Amino acid sequence: MVERKIQHILDDYGLGRLCKPEIQRGYVWDRTAVAKLFDSLYNEYPIGAFLFWKPQNVTYFKGLADQKNLKILTKQFLMVNKD
């Protein structure tokens, strides 16, 4: 298992390096659920796992930037937790 800092993950997201596979279900989290996830990450609570997969064929993937709610909540989280 490789550990990555949340800042590196957010940086990769901001640069468009993260995507979700077409086989992944649609975005279903509401703002409260996303805020709770980021709160858990910020407080270093265990959250289970994220899967980061480097595929050989990238034609079946689309960028996470399409998920506007996640992008907005990420920015709000970073602004609130600048300390």
Taking only the tens place, the pLDDT of each residue in 3-51 is 778 788 788 878 877 777 777 777 788 888 888 888 888 888 988 877 7
Amino acid at 36: K
Distance of CA 45 to CAs 34, 36, 42, 75, 82, Å? 14, 11, 8, 21, 19
Report the length, in residues, of the chain.
83
pTM over 0.75: no
